[in-house]
Amino acid sequence: MTNLKEAKCIVWDLDNTIWDGVLLESEKVELKPGIKEILEEFDSRGILHSIASKNNYDDAIDKLKEFGIDQYFLYPQINWNAKSSSIAEIQKKFNFGIDTFVFLDDQQFEREEVASLLPEVETIDALEYAEILKKERLNPKFITADSKQRRSMYQSDIIRNQTELEFKGPQEEFLASLNMEFVISDAAEEDLKRAEELTVRTNQLNATGRTYDYNELNEFRLSENHKLIVCELTDKYGSYGKIGLALVEMNEDEWHIKLLLMSCRVMARGVGTVLLSHIMAEAKKANKRLFADFKVTDRNRMMFVTFKFANFKEVAKNEDYVVLENDLTNIQGYPDYIKVVHL
């Protein structure tokens, strides 16, 4: 496998991988040396964990609790399904690219089954577990405040989603019950690590697919001809972290959105157009024409829909790159169920 992306999730087998022994054959399995420390270290790096194991669910969860490591694993798939099916289900729950997953299993058959059906998933022999901390794609360039809180943010998401499933009433009424606050601000120097992380990690909702490093972003932040905007979302369950980023180039007669991205975790919260509406309103106030770059890919269709919903029209095209324009005659207001704060 070449050109591997930075990994976002490690999926673990259990028997002879997380622990020595087979749980169905003996309850006296033992945690492999150093496993707890490895889980903790990846957790601090913002890399998430899950499980794909053929086992009895309750027995396996009880054993993980006994070892004091159950809290690290999100959306565990402990059943008798094929491992590829379990990983696909985990990917669906997280809603990020399958090529950002790593799978550890002691059985060659299981690794080959996953590699055959999910070739974008990197498979690793569990015998090599002690070495994975050194793997380049499992060592993020920056570890931000959001990185360190990533697991707790997803755990809050699980509670939100469960609450939503149980909610009786219209979607907007549920969204209003969350007491959401969307904070828009010019990027500060302390935001740049997270801003770079967002450009690297966000593929599905990145309008142009461009990535920028810390120094490039800092130049834009200090430039009189650019706006670098970050946004954060909070609700009654806590913060989603910094979840959006925009880069606007400002010329004499026009503004040009060179980058717009949003974390896929928040799109279901109906906030996709908030940042775009803010930029549109500011451009109109400044009496500028507004354009936006967009690169059409299989993954970012939802972002394209967001632009179209906000009345952007295609005015130029070069292969898979398009330039969009908004005439700023019809700027949507912010949804009633969200409080928008400009800092």
pLDDT digits (tens, 9 = 90+) for 142-155: 787 888 888 998 89
Look at residue 265 and tell me whether its pLDDT is greater than 80.
Answer: no
Minimum mean pLDDT among 47-61, 129-143, 192-206, 268-282: which range? Answer: 192-206
Are the C-beta atoms of residues 233 and 269 closer than 8 Å to each other?
yes
Q: Which helix (H) or strand (E) holds 276?
A: helix 274-285
User: Residue 37 burial by CB count (10 A; 0-12/13-18/19+): exposed, middle or buried?
Assistant: exposed
Determine the Cα angle at 48 with ends 296 and 305, to 5°: 20
Are the C-beta atoms of residues 180 and 339 closer than 8 Å to each other?
yes
Supply the pLDDT for residue 197: 75
Q: What percent of the chain has pLDDT over 90?
A: 62
Supply the pLDDT for residue 1: 46
Q: What is the mean pLDDT of residues 111-140?
A: 95
Supply the pLDDT for residue 268: 65
Strand-pair partners of 52:
77
Supply the pLDDT for residue 2: 46
Q: Report the 3 state secondary structure along 8-62.
A: CEEEECCECCCEECCCCCCCCCEECCCHHHHHHHHHHHCCEEEEEEECCHHHHHH
3-class DSSP state of 226: strand
Minimum mean pLDDT among 100-109, 121-130, 169-178: which range? Answer: 169-178
Residue 292 corresponds to which tokens in the numbers above? 């936006």
DSSP string, 104-132: EES-HHHHHHHHHH-TTSEEEEGGGGGGG
Q: What is the mean pLDDT of residues 128-145?
A: 89
CA–CA separation, 239 and 156 (whole Å):
9
Confidence label for 206 from pLDDT (cuts 50, 70 and 90)? low
Are the C-beta atoms of residues 229 and 186 closer than 8 Å to each other?
yes
pTM: 0.74
CA–CA separation, 147 and 150 (whole Å):
5
Look at residue 68 and tell me whether its pLDDT is greater than 90.
Answer: yes
Look at residue 163 and tell me whether its pLDDT is greater than 60.
Answer: yes
Supply the pLDDT for residue 199: 74
Supply the pLDDT for residue 228: 94
Are the C-beta atoms of residues 230 and 191 closer than 8 Å to each other?
yes
Cα–chain center distance at 58 = 29
Phi and psi at 231, nearest 5°, equal -140, 150
Supply the pLDDT for residue 3: 61
Q: State the average pLDDT for the chain.
A: 90
Are the C-beta atoms of residues 241 and 338 closer than 8 Å to each other?
no
Supply the pLDDT for residue 78: 98
Look at residue 203 and tell me whether its pLDDT is greater than 80.
Answer: no
Are the C-beta atoms of residues 51 and 148 closer than 8 Å to each other?
no
Contacts of 104 (CB under 8 A, 6+ apart): 10, 11, 12, 13, 17, 123, 124, 125, 126, 129, 132
3-class DSSP state of 81: coil
> Domains of the chain, with CATH numbers?
9-138 (3.40.50.1000), 147-342 (3.40.630.30)
Q: What is the largest CA-CA distance in the chain?
A: 73
Q: What is the mean pLDDT of residues 42-65?
A: 96
Residue 116 corresponds to which tokens in the numbers above? 């055959």
Tens digits of per-residue pLDDT, 71-91? 999 999 999 999 999 999 999
Confidence label for 214 from pLDDT (cuts 50, 70 and 90)? confident
Tens digits of per-residue pLDDT, 10-38? 999 999 999 999 999 987 899 999 999 99
Minimum mean pLDDT among 151-155, 209-213, 227-231, 307-311: which range? Answer: 209-213
Tens digits of per-residue pLDDT, 232-255? 999 999 888 888 889 999 999 999
Supply the pLDDT for residue 318: 86
